[in-house]
Structure formats: C-alpha cells, structure tokens
Structure 1
Amino acid sequence: MLQQYQHILVPVDGSYEAELAFKKAVAVAKRNGPNASVHMVHVVDTRAFQNISSFDTTMVEQVTDTAQKTLDKYVAEAKADGLDNVDYSIEYGAPKTIIARDVPKDMGTDLIMIGATGLNAVERLLIGSVTEYVTRMAVCDVLVVRTDLENKPAPKPKKK
C-alpha cells in the first residue's frame, strides 16, 4: 500500500539543506493530491539570546523579519509551482521539541521532511543535531532529505 501524506511539515532555517527539503516537500504534496498541504516552520531559538547581556527585542524582531521574507519567498515559489495549500508559522523556543512534537501535534502532521544536518561530527557530539533529535522523537514519519529533486547527491552551494 502506498502511503498518502496529506499534512507535510518542513522546518526551514535558511540553509541549503532546508531549501532542498522544501522543494521535495512541494513535489510530494503535489503527487499526493489536491488536499495535501505543506506547512513550513521556522523556529527562533530564544535560548541563543539568553547569554547576550544587552538583550534587545529588536534582535528577535530582525531574525523574525528575515525568516518571514524567506518563508514568503518559499510560499510564492510553491504557488507558482502549482501547490496552493502552503503556509508557514514562526515559533519561538527550543527547535528540537517544537519541530518533533509541538507543531506536528497542533497541525496534524503525518510527515516531517527535514534537511540533513550541516553539523560536523564534533558539533553533533557537543550540541546535538536538530535533525537527529527529530528522527528519534517525532510523533509522525520523518524523511531526511539529502538529495536534490533528481535524487542525486546535492552539491553544496559555493560560498561567496
């Protein structure tokens, strides 16, 4: 039996890996029929701001504005590609639990499509990977995207 995913969640953080996951999620939703939807989530990790002594809410606002512009661009791309059921939310807190549990429960998510981690082995050991946590703790199926739309290993974009 072929699984028909109807409510796909894609965490978006501005990385190349997240963009690949978004593009594949749009393709999956389009294949799964007119009722399939993609919900993107960007999580502003508020813990990152706790150690800044001169904490200013404008910093969070700037991060939120940047995320909103990226997400608006992705919504426009999805709609131009023929997917009308696409939206997003911006959440605040710990990305791991928000992506693995909170948003999927609230949205009725049946598939999380998440980009492969960009962390190296030492970083994963010290701080842990959001992707790794989501694959272990999610309340629904998880697909880790490592390839482009042709299922070929995706080359990293060249740094400018």
Structure 2
Amino acid sequence: MSRTYQNILVAVDGSKSAECAFKKAVYIALRNNAQLTLVHVVDTRSFVSIEAYDGTMAERAERYAEELLEDYKKEAAAKGLQTLNTIIEHGSPKTIIPKQTAKKINADLIICGATGLNAVERLLIGSVSEQITRSASCDVLVVRTDDDVTL
C-alpha cells in the first residue's frame, strides 16, 4: 500500500544537503498533490555568545533567510509547484522543526538533508536530522544523495 502525503515540511539552511532535500521535496509534493512548506530556523543561540551583539547579526540572518526562501519559491514555481508556504522560525532547529513547526502545519512528512551547515555542533551533540528523526511524530525522510529528480 502506497502512502500519500498531504502536508510536507522541508527544512532548509542553505547547505548542499538542504538543496538536495528541497529538490526531492518538490518532486514528492507534486507527485502527491501535497502542500509544501519550507522552514528556515534562524539559530538565535549563536547570538548569545557575541558580547557586542547590537542586532545587526540578527538582521543579516533574517535577510539571508528571506532571500533563501524566496529563491526556493522561484525554483519550485519553475518546476510546476504553484503553492509553497515559507516559515522563518527562531531558536534551535533541533527542537523547533519537529516539535513546533511540524505540529503548526500538521505535517505528515518532514524532509531534511543528512548534514547541514554546522559541523562543530554535529560533532559535539549530534545532527539536526538525527534529532528530527528522534522527535518527530510523523514520517521523516533524510536525504543523503544529490541524485537529480526529474518530473
């Protein structure tokens, strides 16, 4: 029996791995006629350690997130996906994505890359994809390959 997904959430951070996850998410959303939502989490924990924090780093991170999501939106439209929701969250991606954002949109599938941008954190306390897999109450697809998906 084949599973049909209705609400797909894909986590993007600008990494190559997230790009691969996005491409597969568009394909799966089109194949399932599903709603696709992109989430980018601005990791505010890194701002705490900067003593001279004056808001400019947060503003740059917010602008980066907006531009990243807008680029993905254009790419999805070019592939035939007409509706794409985007969400910018703030906090720790490991907890925000599976426990907050997925519940907010009633996700039945979360798609993420196997490795993201933060290699040091992954070494010390595990990857975001690992935590999503452990914490999510829905199916999770961890994308490891950059195989091209053709529609």
Instruction: Give the TM-score taking structure 1 as reference length.
Output: 0.87
Shift of 1:28: 0.3
- Structure 2 counterpart of 1:38, which letter? L
Matched residues in 1 for 2:29 and 2:87: separation?
18
Matched, 1:27 2:27: yes
**Corresponding residue of 2:4:** 4
1:67 counterpart SS class: helix
Q: Confirm or deny: 8 A CA contact 1:13 1:42 kept in the other structure.
A: yes
* Equivalent residues of 1:10, 1:113 under 8 A apart: yes
Structure 1: distance between partners of 2:131 and 2:138: 13
> What amino acid is aligned across from residue 92 of structure 2 in structure 1?
A
- Measure the CA separation in 2 of the matches of 1:135 and 1:40: 17
- The 5-angstrom pairing of residues 8-157 of structure 1 reads 8-33=8-33, 36-118=34-116, 124-150=122-148
Q: CA deviation at 1:124?
A: 3.4
**In 2, distance between residues paired with 1:124 and 1:92?**
19
Shift of 1:150: 4.1
CA RMSD in angstroms comes to 1.6
Runs ≥4 residues deviating over 3 A: 122-125
Unaligned runs of 5+ in 2: none
Aligned length: 148
Gaps (5+ residues) in structure 1? 152-160
Q: In 2 relative to 1, CA 38–60 (structure 1 residues): closer, same or farther, beyond 3 Å? A: same
CA distance in 2, matches of 1:79, 1:126: 38
Aligned 8 A contact 1:23 1:149 in 2: no
Q: Deviations over 1:29-84 (max 9, x none)?
A: 11112xx1110111011111101111111210111101111110100110111001
